Amino acid sequence: MTRRRWGERGSVTAEFAVALPAVIVVFVLFAGALTASSRQVRLEHAAAQGARLAARGEDAGRVHDAVSRALDGARAVIGGDGDLVCVTASAPTGLLLPLEPLRAVSCAVGEAR
């Protein structure tokens, strides 16, 4: 016959109350990491699109517009190195944590002039 100890009564509830916030924190961090990585991929695509536009000779306003439409708060800086036209795009992570902004660089061969 099993005998219950009155001193252990409620221990499962206490353990659950301690573990639940930890599980919630892990879940929120995981969801935040997925959000940030999704934004990073979209930013890389936007930088590549901007580099292709700039290499074709489109004006800077169109390049900036393409990058900012791809991701809220994204900014583009157009540069060059020889025949290459490079676009550096940056955007906030979209998380409530004080993290460095996301950054992506893409280059394309410019038109012969």
Q: Is 45 exposed, middle or buried (0-12, 13-18, 19+ CB in 10 A)?
A: middle
pLDDT single digits (tens) 33-55: 999 999 999 999 999 999 999 99
How many domains is the chain built from? 1
Identify whether 104 is part of a domain. Answer: yes
The residue-averaged pLDDT of 104-112 equals: 87
User: pLDDT at position 5, please?
Assistant: 59
Least confident of 8-17, 37-46, 66-75: 8-17
Identify whether 3 is part of a domain. Answer: no
Report CA 80 to chain centroid distance, whole Å: 25
What single DSSP character describes residue 78? E
Identify whether 4 is part of a domain. Answer: no
User: pLDDT at position 6, please?
Assistant: 59
Residue 3 has pLDDT above 60, yes or no: no
Identify whether 75 is part of a domain. Answer: yes
The residue-averaged pLDDT of 99-109 equals: 95
pTM (predicted TM-score): 0.79
Cα dihedral 20, 94, 46, 57 in deg (nearest 10): -170
